[in-house]
A and B are shown apart, each in its own frame.
Chain A
Amino acid sequence: NAGVTQTPKFRILKIGQSMTLQCTQDMNHNYMYWYRQDPGMGLKLIYYSVGAGITDKGEVPNGYNVSRSTTEDFPLRLELAAPSQTSVYFCASTRTQGYTFGSGTRLTVV
């Protein structure tokens, strides 16, 4: 049972490049979330999803997009990377109890 898997673990992007952060869970969880954590700070919710085909904005959605075509996958898309998006990104999932977090993706935009 893999839980929540995030790829890649590390990535360096140039300003203006795009990329997709992958998140997959194998627990049949309905709810999935994307967070960013800046150094010394708490987690800020970017987007979340309550099920396949349904997504909603969190606290800091600007500069990001998501999709939820399947229950398992919740990719996060950065279209035009900016230095302000340098952060650690965490994906999480739950059904009703037992939230599980991925190990994170450390993204640097230079």
Chain B
Amino acid sequence: AQSVTQPDIHITVSEGASLELRCNYSYGATPYLFWYVQSPGQGLQLLLKYFSGDTLVQGIKGFEAEFKRSQSSFNLRKPSVHWSDAAEYFCAKGHDMRFGAGTRLTVKP
């Protein structure tokens, strides 16, 4: 069964616009949750993670994510997108690090 679902395969936003990438997970006892970014031809870089505590998590590069247990979601947000944010974004869950299929972000000038 799919542990992590990213409903949006591809999203296009204009530079300077806000961004929200969706991630839904199948609930586990300890929903360790992560967001990674992958630029073309590169490895993965951790943006942020949630283990416990404050449900609003701040990450690198101006990203944040909010854990909502009632909605089984961990959506990634950024208030103002830069052209350099164009990449593939992956949500992942758990100690066994199951990944979603990814969302490709395109940024329009």
Instruction: Give A contacts to B, CB under 8 Å.
Output: 31, 33, 35, 41-45, 48, 50, 56, 58-59, 90, 92, 97-104
Contact = CB atoms under 8 A, between A and B. Distances in A.
B67 interface: no
Interface in B38-96: 42-46, 49, 51, 90, 92, 95-96
Contacts of A58: 96
Contact of B46 (A44, A99, A104): A99
24 contacts: A31-B95, A33-B96, A33-B97, A35-B97, A41-B102, A42-B90, A42-B100, A43-B90, A43-B99, A44-B99, A45-B96, A45-B99, A50-B95, A58-B96, A59-B98, A92-B44, A92-B97, A97-B49, A97-B51, A98-B46, A99-B49, A101-B44, A101-B45, A103-B42
A48 B96 CA distance: 7
Contacts of A50: 95
Residue among B45, B51, B95, B96 facing the most chain A CB atoms (10 A cut-off): B96
Q: What 4 A-B pairs come out closest when comparing CB atoms?
A: A42-B101, A43-B99, A42-B102, A101-B44
Contact of A41 (B46, B97, B101): B101
Given A97-B51, A99-B34, A42 B99 contact: yes
Interface residues of B, number: 20
Contacts of A103: 42-43
Interface of B: 6, 34, 36, 42-46, 49, 51, 90, 92, 95-102
A6 B16 CA distance: 37
A44 B46 CA distance: 17
A48 B99 contact: no
Contacts of A101: 36, 43-45
Given A59-B98, A90-B43, A98-B46, 11 more contacts: A42-B6, A42-B100, A42-B102, A43-B90, A56-B96, A58-B96, A90-B44, A92-B44, A97-B51, A101-B45, A103-B43
